[in-house]
Amino acid sequence: MAYGGVAYGPSKTALNAVTIAFAHELEGTAIKVNLACPGYTATDLNGHSGQRTVDEAAKQPVRLALLGDDGPTGTFSNDAGTIPW
């Protein structure tokens, strides 16, 4: 089986689209909608072959969850910063 199966790539694309749609819909509210890339993380999905631990991968989602009112919305980021869509 290929990594993630045939639905993996299309589901990631759909997640990107929904993130942008929700960010636009909720713009001007206190709700922030951002997407985090955890990197290649050792999980059951990849037989624990990823180079990152779950703790390392969680840093970006936690940072986004703790954004203040002045934080960004509609972004895609990893540990290195914002990733262009």
Catalytic positions, written as ranges: 8
Residue 52: helix, strand or coil by DSSP?
strand
DSSP 78: E
The type of residue at 31 is I
Alpha-carbon gap, residue 22 to 79, rounded angstroms: 23
